[in-house]
Amino acid sequence: MDPPLCCKHADILTTEGKVSFGHGCVVHPKAKIIIEGDCSIVLGEYNIIEENVTIKATPKYNPVLNANETITVYIGCYNHFKVGCYLENTSVENCNVFDYKCRLEDSYVESKSIIRAGISIPKRTTIKLNSLVLENNIIVTNSIFNENDFIAAIKELYKLLAVLLPKQNPMHNINTG
């Protein structure tokens, strides 16, 4: 299995919570993974997290309990988070693309979707399977998505980054799971 790669200049910030990485994950320099309180983030296999991406888990206030609840943000497999995208308390299934500077909070993204550049998704939105989110949050069916080709492309990108990133960046030693 391909080991996860994490550049030392990435910020993995946690106090009490934890983050786990699946095989083949790549965390570029200047990416931020932020876990507040007892929350956690679980990343599946082959997620590519580019520069200036933020993935954040923060406690959510529960008015019934009159207290904060810890959450776990689940990120499936084969997702590509491009430069500057921001996800807070947003879980993601498999094979999605988050284009440049898109923003999601307290949302859920099903598999095989593409969120275009600069899109800001309203809180508590579910992006359905095979969606393409365009400007003005217009959502259309992404009928041309080929999952096998996408997975192959992500694995090829991992192989390329596994060679290039360590040549230009000091790396963290991280474990899977």
Q: What are the residue ranges spanned by the domains of the chain?
A: 5-170
- Residue 134's alpha-carbon distances to 115, 139, 156, in angstroms, are 7, 6, 27
The two tokens of residue 42 are 């679980």
In DSSP notation, 135-155 reads GGG-EEE-TT--HHHHHHHHH
Return the CATH number of the domain spanning residue range 5-170.
2.160.10.10
C-beta atoms surrounding 65 within 10 Å: 8
Written as tens digits, the pLDDT of the chain (177 aa) is 899 999 999 999 888 889 999 999 999 999 999 999 999 999 999 999 999 999 999 998 888 888 889 999 999 999 999 999 999 999 999 999 999 999 999 999 999 999 999 999 989 999 999 988 888 777 787 777 889 999 999 999 999 999 999 999 988 877 665
